[in-house]
Structure 1
Amino acid sequence: MLTSEDEGRVCLDIPESACNHQPRNFFTHIVSLGATKTADGLIDPKLVLSWLLTQLGAPAVFIGLLVPVRESGALLPQLFTAASLRRLPLRKYAWTAGSIVQGLCAIAIGISALMLEGVAAGIAIISALAVLALARSVCSVTYKDVLGKTVSKSRRGTATGTATSASAFFVIIFGAVLASGFLERMDVVVAALFLAGALWAFAAILFSTLQEESGATEGGRNPLKAALQNFTLLRDDVQLRRFIATRGLLISTALAPPFMVALGSKQAADDMFGGLGLLVLASSGAALLSSYVWGRLADRSSRKVLILSAAAASIALIGTLILNALGWLTQVWALPLTIFALMIAYQGVRLGRSTHLVDMANADTRAAYTALSNTIIGLLLLLGSAFSLLAQLAGLETVLMVLAAMSALAVLAALGLEEVQENEPTSAG
């Protein structure tokens, strides 16, 4: 029912022996990935953790560190860990360990919220988030490799898209509780942190039951040498360079929300939590309504998904600027609407680039492509902190104009990508 595929497309690009386990593996991916994505939504650094640090009286510097620590910490280490992880013939266990560590870190953040305040709370929560990000980097660099070995080419986008949609449903419930104000606000957030820890633990246990075929283990050399070799892939593969350029321009979809909120936030401090609930609802609603559709489209053409989502992001950001110029952005509906539109585009970016990367690579290059791409994007996200300086010097409107332009340029970059779903994956070069 989920894939609607004929029998002739069931076993593309995976070992024949893995086909026997594919139905079970397919749903194992959906449930385990759905659990971790739900946990991600419950501890969202851009919204939930920033509110939590504010309530605990932590200095603003810690709030400013949340997104850079979370995003760059999850991406930058991957170039150096890919070679070591490749020594593991069964990489599902690395993902399992990373998920367990993320769960423990979420619980540590919850305990810190209960016991600490001020600077101590800021140090503890940022430290736990940093460890969580490192564990996430292990999961990220191994997940696409495991997905490529256990789920057929025609079903990968569907699996990830379905998991994202399912998780969005549960995060919507969380957002509704936040917006309602029926329960004590701090209690809701702390309970969500502990629930996130439990979900990561559950996902780890379930993922360990995947029927994964042993993979190639050659190439697990010194991390620095592996890093240099991975960069030769960038030199030799034109399509990889274009893909990374497209993805690099599309970091605009990740960087924009805080600036959109800053531009439109005219609420009193007492209304901040209600606003948080509405933004969580908007973000989760966008994921629920669009992720499965984006995933199905990505299985047909991840290139077109990247083009469409980049165009949608540019339109959403330009729309935000127009609403602001008209003086409408302070309306109760305006900011959630623009966040909703941007997050639909963001989901397309996530699913399109993930599916495109897996399908453009083969079993020998997939892990290296993933690590190289994620590390470069991690560096760009780290450099993205300069947008805060630009906002100070030139204003929030200028930042959003630059981000809208980046999204528009991503459309042009994505036009040059190959339709990888129509071709068998090839080696670099």
Structure 2
Amino acid sequence: MSATTWLFHRLVKPQEAPDQDEADGGVAEAAQPHIASNGLRQIGAQACQGIGDQVVNAKTVLPWLLATLGAPGVFLAMLVPIRESGSMLPQAALTPWLRRLQARKWAWVAGALAQGAGAAAMALVAFTLTGWAAGIAVPVALAVFALGRALCSLGSKDVLGRTIPKGERGQINGVVTVLSGVVALTLGLALQVWGGDVDAPLLGALLLAAAAMWVVGLLLYATVKEPETEPADVAAEDGWAVRSWRLLRDDAPFRRFVVVRALLLVSALSPPFVVAIGVAHQGDALTGLGLFVMAQGVANLIGGRLFGRLADSSSRLLMVWCAVGASAVTAGYLLALLSPTLRESAWLHPTTYLLLAIVHLGTRLARKTYVVDMAEGDRRTEYVAVANTAMGVLLLAAGAVTGLLSVWGNEAALVFLALLGLVGAGLGRSLPEVSAGRDQ
């Protein structure tokens, strides 16, 4: 056994498929000899991306940067929609271009380059601009970053499905999550120990370091040995919008997956309301940047390997139980708020934030693994793209609804999200099983 194979199987445990016909795990014969080396290269490249993500974070670091630069508050509200929807909405439109590529890894490389450029542009803003100029420039750079993430999202799932067999894909994502969690925890502790002001020059230096990580990542990813295929002839096909609509209309299992995924937004949309409630009751106790970064790091460390293996065992059941968990955490938090003693507790709000981060991690790993396992070839590419584009639209809609409900209080928005999660868990049980090691 080579050192590469030994290391890969120390990180990723192979699972045997119950069906002999699926013994290859859906990987072409040409890719079989390179599974271990490809796996390590993807882990390394995506870990670099995960490290950069801890800095280019639209929920923590970037709002802090804009506040430090004196940008008007209206720009703060734009960050999360640009980052999340901007990385999802373009994917269906980008799919025809991706399908023309013989090797899909170049989509990830191009996306990493765009993300590095976006991070470097934000660093330049941190060093040179303030006020309205900074408020405009950071969202523009974030839009470039989000477009790059759309390319990486499409490319990574396609390459993962081509080079790594079923039963190991979720673990790949889990290892990457743990590595980025270590970095997040280290960064958060450093910011807490720093003790002084987290000012614009410091954030600019961190953003430059993040940009460098994407460069390292793309150099690693470019070495993945992906089996090349003939480019698809997309010129004779219908437009991407027509194809996307037809896929959602005619493919019932895929349509159900998209609906379930939308209903699982409880773990993604609840944390900002928890933070807002916590700040209202605790003042500045929750406003330290390091605390938020640390919470995400702890969640990644706790859940990365565990959820990765559970996703390979049954991504469908992991989605269901994470939806139940997110709703239960949210409901428990709402009940705790009824107690004046608990409401003023210094531990209630950060603990709830941490628990939601953990179940959100499980949700992310589960739905990523599910969509990669449920199809092969260009059908997988279409599934990923159309699901993410649909989610970009639904995320904006859900954000608008919860924002409207928050007029009656943040608690009202949390009640709505908890109910969505329970409905999603019930519907998720009816999804077909696609994971390795499960009866079909």
Normalised-by-shorter TM-score class: over 0.9
1:285-320 alpha-carbon deviations (Å, 9 max, x no partner): 011110111110111100111011111111111122
1:16-40 Cα distance to aligned partner (Å, 9 max, x none): 1101011100111111111101111
Residue matched to 1:2: 11
Structure 2 segments unaligned to the other structure (5+ residues): 1-9
Structure 1 residues 389 and 290, CA gap change in structure 2 (3 angstroms): closer
SS at match of 2:239: helix
The one of 412, 416, 424 equivalent to 2:426 is: 412
Aligned to 2:97: 84
Give the conservation status (yes or no) of the 8 Å contact 2:117–2:211.
yes
Letter of the aligned partner of 1:121 in structure 2? A
Per the alignment, residue 372 of structure 1 pairs with 386
> Shift of residue 406 of structure 1?
0.8
Q: In structure 1, which of residues 343, 346, 360 is the aligned counterpart of residue 374 of structure 2?
A: 360
Alpha-carbon distance between aligned partners in 2 of 1:7 and 1:345, rounded to the nearest angstrom: 27
Contact 1:178 1:188 in 2 (8 A): no
Q: Is the 8 A contact 1:43 1:192 kept in 2?
A: no
The match for 1:249 is 263
Give a deviation string over 1:106-145, Cα, whole Å, max 9, x none. Answer: 0110110111111000101010001111111111112111
- The one of 348, 365, 389 equivalent to 1:351 is 365
**1:132 corresponds to which residue?**
145
Contact 2:169–2:312 (CA under 8 A) maintained in structure 1? yes
Unaligned stretches of 5+ residues in structure 1: none
Deviation at 1:405, TM superposition (A): 0.7
User: Which of 66, 71, 74 does residue 58 from structure 1 map onto?
Assistant: 71
Identity of aligned residues (%): 38
CA distance in 2, matches of 1:421, 1:389: 36
Counterpart amino acid of residue 251 in structure 1: L
**What is the rounded CA distance, in whole Å, between the counterparts of 1:223 and 1:48 in structure 2?**
43
**Do the aligned partners of 1:179 and 1:273 also contact (CA within 8 Å) in 2?**
no
Which of these residues, 168, 182, 207, is aligned with residue 169 of structure 1? 182
Give how far 1:227 is off: 2.4
The Cα of 1:266 is off from its aligned counterpart by 3.4
Structure 2: how far apart are the matches of 1:126 and 1:219? 36
SS in 2 for 1:21: helix
**Partner of 1:340 in structure 2?**
354
The question of whether the paired residues in 2 share the 8 Å contact of 1:81 and 1:223 is answered with: no
What is the 5 A alignment of 1:21-420?
Answer: 21-182=34-195, 184-186=197-199, 187-221=201-235, 225-266=239-280, 273-274=287-288, 276-327=289-340, 328-387=342-401, 389-420=403-434
CA distance in 2, matches of 1:282, 1:229: 41
Query: Conserved in 1, the CA contact under 8 Å of 2:282 and 2:346?
Result: no
For structure 1, which segment, 223-232 or 408-417, has the greater mean C-alpha deviation from structure 2 after superposition? 223-232
Q: CA deviation at 1:400?
A: 0.4
CA 1:380 to 1:222, structure 2 compared with 1: closer, same or farther past 3 Å?
A: farther
Residue 267 of structure 1, CA deviation: 7.0
Q: CA deviation at 1:10?
A: 6.9
Distance 1:222 1:169 in 2: 48
Contact 1:314 1:404 in 2 (8 A): yes
Change beyond 3 A, Cα 1:350–1:117 = same
Q: How many residues align?
A: 425
Distance 1:334 1:223 in 2: 54
Please give the alpha-carbon distance, in whole angstroms, between the structure 2 residues aligned to 1:156 and 1:225: 31
TM-score for the superposition, normalised by structure 1: 0.94
Q: Distance in 2 between matches of 1:255 and 1:7?
A: 37
Return the alpha-carbon distance in structure 2 between the equivalents of residues 181 and 309 of structure 1.
35
Counterpart residue type for residue 172 of structure 2: A
* Separation in 2, partners of 1:301, 1:6: 12
CA RMSD of aligned residues (A): 2.2
Per-residue deviation, 1:364:
3.1
Give the residue type in structure 2 aligned to 1:421. S
